[in-house]
Amino acid sequence: MIKVKNDKKFLPAIITELPGPKSKALINRDKKVISSSYTRGEPIVAHKGYGAMLEDPDGNRFLDFSAGIAVCSTGHCHPKIVEAITHQANSVIHMSGTDFYYEPQIRLAETLARIAPGKTPKKVFFCNSGTEAIEASIKLARYKTRRPRFIAFQGAFHGRTFGGMSLSCSKVVQKRYFSPLLPQIDHVPYAYCMRCAYNMTYPKCEMHCVRVIESQYFRQSIPPEEVAAFVVETIQGEGGYVVPPPEFHQELKKIAEKYGILYIVDEVQSGMGRTGKMFAIEHWGVEPDILATAKGIASGMPLGAIIAKADVMNWEPGTHASTFGGNPISCAAANATIELLESEYIENARKMGDVLTKGFKQLQKRFGVIADVRGRGLMIGIEFVTDKRTLKPDPKLRDDVVAETYKHGLILLGCGYNTLRFCPPLLVTREQCDYVVETLGTCLEKLTAGRTM
């Protein structure tokens, strides 16, 4: 067992066998009573968090480059977030925005309307999670257009409720035995250029994957006047941190506009500053009709929202609501989160994203198993293959890397079939990023020893 010695509070220190005795005891209790549907990876028990660091009950200190699945945007327990939560908890904990009014929710909606991409006036609907934001998007799109169908993408993940699950096309285990799903949803290939579904090469393909929607699908199988919306992740998250080319969203949006189809972007994972802009779609210069956000919005408090053009979000009272949606404490945390993002952390995400990407590209030169380093800001994926020529995926190596870096006190998650994702809190430092690149190099050295590439 590797022990990691470190006196620095903001770098890992592993002082026991992993998992330590207290963590082990908790995990044993957990196994008896918690649903077996969760996909637990490394046996990490969260006890205390600060910045990008997480301590387990045994006193081991981890550098958390998962951020609670891209949620803790301002780090763990940022003093300003704790203060906002505490202050609100001493004022009003709940009153339901469905029937009543409270200032933190109004202020948050004003802020979201201001920071949403595009100049068109916006309105906001609040819920509790990403999948609920997608449900709200589906309902609003159907209500607005009076059309039944949706077009979503292969590799997509939009959540676990019936609407979100039906739009998803990521892993079969998420759908098996849950049918019937929402009808009238078609999945078309995403612009995953490294593994193009049409075996073409960008840019020679001239965005075939987008053009074919109009030239083929709309002629053969999907009547465009029945389509309420495209639902698309700006950058695919669970599908493998897949970044589409510069024309993708613009070309798709043009088709949407031509046929009166709404453009719904799912920014649940890519939003709230993670990519070095408040919303990732700003990198593509497109104004969506509906934008779904959650995860990083409130630094770990449960909150989801859709931000829609005001003339799209004009449904009548009673059509949609949520008892807990837009809870005052979550809204207070979100207001404090956005202040921190705007004042320093979006800029930091951009800068530290560059540092990490540069470091990973250096590793790519050293290790033939790295086929791709991609991302924006602090949403970065590394795709592993057995062979760079055939691009045969190596999901085992990815899993081994997650397990090995854990022994060095680094918390990472996979995504897609064979991709390693980096979605740390947006306040990570240069020293922490250097540690991650160095540790990844050390682990790859060990795991690929003896391979010829």
- What interhelical angle do 395-407 and 430-447 show, nearest 10? 120
Decide: is 230 part of the binding site for ligand PLP (CB under 6 A).
Answer: no
Q: What is the CA radius of gyration of the chain?
A: 22
Could you say whether residue 383 binds ligand PLP (CB under 6 A)? no
Using rule CB under 6 A, residue 325 touches ligand PLP: no
Which range in 20-28, 130-138, 340-348, 364-372 contacts ligand PLP by CB under 6 A?
A: 130-138
- Under rule CB under 6 A, residue 237 binds ligand PLP: yes
Which segment (85-93, 151-159, 217-225, 318-326) binds ligand PLP by CB under 6 A? 151-159
- Quote the least distance from Cβ 269 to ligand PLP, whole Å: 4
Site map 87..126 versus ligand PLP, x via CB under 6 A: ----------------------------------------
Which uninterrupted H or E stretch holds 235? none
Dihedral sign for Cα atoms in the order 325, 329, 335, 338: negative
Rounded Cα–Cα distance for residues 353 and 284 (Å): 18
CA dihedral 309, 315, 316, 318 (to 10 degrees): -110
Instruction: Work out the number of other CB atoms within 10 angstroms of the CB of residue 95.
Output: 13
Nearer to ligand PLP, 147 or 158 (CB): 158
What's the one-letter identity of residue 403?
Answer: A
Give yes or no for residue 68 binding ligand PLP (CB under 6 A): no
Please state whether 389 falls in left (phi above 0), alpha (psi between -120 and 50) or beta. alpha
- Pick from 73, 88, 170, 269 the residue near ligand PLP by CB under 6 A: 269
Is residue 64 part of the contact set for ligand PLP (CB under 6 A)? no
Task: Choose one: 155-163, 188-196, 357-365, 393-401; the region binding ligand PLP (CB under 6 A).
Answer: 155-163
Residue 435 tokens, joined:
């540690």
Q: How many residues bind ligand PLP (CB under 6 A)?
A: 14
Distance separating alpha carbons of residues 166 and 186, to the nearest angstrom: 10
Candidate list 23, 60, 131, 293; residue touching ligand PLP; CB under 6 A: 131
Tokens of 328: 């005052």
Q: Does 300 bind ligand PLP (CB under 6 A)?
A: no
Write out the DSSP string of 377-436: TTEEEEEEEEETTTTEE-HHHHHHHHHHHHHTTEE-EEETTTEEEE---TT--HHHHHHH
| Residue from 58, 266, 372, 383 in contact with ligand PLP (CB under 6 A) | 266
Nearest-approach distance from CB 158 to ligand PLP, in angstroms: 5
Cα separation, 143 vs 228, in Å, equals 9
List 125, 126, 153, 157, residue binding ligand PLP (CB under 6 A) = 157
The three-state secondary structure class of 292 is strand
| Residues 7-26 interacting with ligand PLP (rule: CB under 6 A) | none
> Could you say which of 58, 233, 251, 394 contacts ligand PLP (CB under 6 A)?
233
229 binds ligand PLP (CB under 6 A): no
| DSSP secondary structure letter of residue 297 | G
Cβ proximity to ligand PLP: between 409 and 425 the closer is 425
Query: Residue 112: how many CA atoms within 13 Å on its side-chain side?
Result: 33
Catalog residues that contact ligand PLP under the rule CB under 6 A: 129-131, 134, 157-159, 233, 237-238, 266, 268-269, 294
